[in-house]
Amino acid sequence: MTKAALFDLDDTLYREMDFVESGFGAVARFLAGHCSVKHDAIFDKAMNILKTSGRGRVFDKLLELLEISDKEMVAYLIYIYRTQRPDIAAYRDVIPVLEHLRVTGVKTGLITDGMAVVQQNKLSALGIAHLFDVIIYTDAIGAVYWKPSHVPFNMALKILGVPAADSVYVGDDPSKDFLAPNALGMKSVQITRGDAAPKPAPSGKGYAAEMTIDSMSEYFGLTCP
């Protein structure tokens, strides 16, 4: 019997690319006031850099394209990106499932990596923090305890007072999400949203989730419109 359900945040409860796009939008609006390029064109440039070069040094490359040589500007852009109030929304099954779990007596928890202030801003924008009995921002206890460390999972279970064997963890990324839950004896569930293929598990014992789903509502026995 499941007595506690723990969740990842990014790409599990909302679409992480929505956060990225919201951040790039905030950055583009700021930069548009410092050059002759319109904010939508700046946004498109940032997105193209991300698609072609990945996340590293996006803002450095963007400033090069815009011919802005202010040495401090990258720091400004990072600050704007990280402290924005993001324009994001929870997947449609998230709030009904969390409310259903709490009504039926299942304790709920969230374990999320990343800078604590950034993750807190995300939760504030999503409006779902009140639906969790415990929230573990791993950054608040140190980067060494980011997933796949077992420490935040043990912390959450101890706070909830639920044995690992009576709990489930739902996440999306086998590279870090399921190693600790599997080792602790929790049920592990990988969720795949939309038409995306499931993220592959690294080779090695314990990385893969016990099962893969594409609907939290179906897994937790709730019918959502």
pLDDT digits (tens, 9 = 90+) for 102-123: 999 999 999 999 999 999 999 9
Question: What band does 92 get if pLDDT is binned at 50, 70 and 90?
Answer: very high
Question: Average model confidence (pLDDT) for the chain?
Answer: 94
What tens digit of pLDDT does each residue of 161-174 get?
A: 999 999 999 999 99
Residue 202 has pLDDT above 90, yes or no: no
- State residue 172 phi and psi, 5-degree precision: -125, -15
Residue 223 has pLDDT above 80, yes or no: no
Q: What percent of the chain has pLDDT over 90?
A: 84
Arithmetic mean of pLDDT, 138-154: 96
- Looking at residue 76, its pLDDT comes to 96
Q: Which two tokens stand for residue 34?
A: 């410092």
Q: Whole-angstrom Cα distance, residue 95 to residue 220?
A: 12
- Looking at residue 203, its pLDDT comes to 84
- Looking at residue 195, its pLDDT comes to 67
Which of 118, 117, 152, 115 has its CA nearest to residue 135? 152
What tens digit of pLDDT does each residue of 120-134 get?
A: 999 999 999 999 999
Q: Whole-angstrom Cα distance, residue 76 to residue 106?
A: 43
How far is the first Cα of the chain from the last one, in angstroms, to the nearest whole number? Answer: 26
Q: Whole-angstrom Cα distance, residue 55 to residue 16?
A: 13
- Looking at residue 47, its pLDDT comes to 97
Instruction: Provide the H-helix boundaries in the chain.
Output: 16-32, 39-53, 58-66, 73-83, 94-103, 116-126, 151-160, 179-184, 216-219
Question: What band does 224 get if pLDDT is binned at 50, 70 and 90?
Answer: low
- Looking at residue 27, its pLDDT comes to 97
Arithmetic mean of pLDDT, 196-222: 86
CATH 3.40.50.1000 fits 4-15+89-219, yes or no: yes
What tens digit of pLDDT does each residue of 49-66 get?
A: 999 988 889 999 999 999
Tell me the pTM: 0.93
Arithmetic mean of pLDDT, 138-151: 96
Give the domain ranges of the chain: 4-15+89-219, 17-83
